[in-house]
Amino acid sequence: MLSPMKKLQEINIFIFFIFLSIGLFIGLIFPDFDQSFQNLLGHRSIVTHSILLPYLIYVYQIVKKEKPNNNIVYICIGIFLGIAIHLSADLFPKGWRGYALIKFIGDISIGAPLSILWMGANVYLGTQLAAKLFKNLTSKKIHTILYFIILLSLSFIYSVGDGGDSLAKFLTFTFFLGLTFYLTKGLKIKTKEPKKIKLKKDKKSEKKSKVGFWRYAVGIPLAFIIILIILGNL
């Protein structure tokens, strides 16, 4: 079992989004890197159409480091999410045959059912690990809102550009992004910092705060997407 990662340094939001963007770019194009080695890997290789290689970065450059480099953490989050966006789109091919299927090394297909399961599992794991790292960086609402706006906007643009059933591709990523972010709530990577005395909060004010947060977290991205849809139809 992996040892707990220490608390990361305070996030610099501007640097975070710069390196996040770099990671997203890498993650979006990485899966199709297999086309350069198609005879060996086959297109939709099980190696590149997964989070296997980024996970090695996560383990050896973040989890096992006493003081992980924040910039590497930001890039790693972006790579996980970029691959998740790409695989969400790949889950909706024109037909489950040929290049649509995941391949073992040697261009050996694993079949349609396992291909769907493999890509779906990697979308889930990619968004889950990204959420875990992000929540260990910051708990500020504005950071979370910006995080969702950027990711949903990028997913929408990528899904439309990829063609086919764009809405299904976008909604698939949105579902996994929201689900894993919710499920990792409160699961910050453990630290050895001394325990702080928590003051009891009024239950009503706490409930009101949570409702207000999700109103902005969901409402702003949806409003932004609706605006993009309207502009696209003009």
Tens digit of pLDDT for each residue in 21-76?
999 999 999 998 887 776 667 778 888 999 999 999 999 999 998 889 999 999 99
- Say how many CA atoms lie within 13 Å of 160 toward its Cβ: 10
Q: Tell whether the model's pLDDT for residue 4 goes beyond 50.
A: no
Residue 154 belongs to a domain: yes
Residue 218 belongs to a domain: no
In Å, how far from its chain's centre is CA 175? 11
Residue 45 belongs to a domain: yes
Count the domains in the chain. Answer: 1
Residue 87 and residue 118: Cα distance in Å, rounded?
10
Residue 230 and residue 234: Cα distance in Å, rounded?
6
pLDDT tens digits, 81-132: 999 999 999 999 989 988 889 988 888 899 999 999 999 999 999 999 999 9
* End-to-end C-alpha distance for the chain, whole angstroms: 53
Domain that holds residue 86: 13-196
Cβ atoms of residues 40 and 106 within 8 Å: yes
Instruction: Name the percent of the chain lying above pLDDT 70.
Output: 73
Residue 231 belongs to a domain: no
Helix, strand, or coil (residue 104): strand
Reported pTM: 0.76
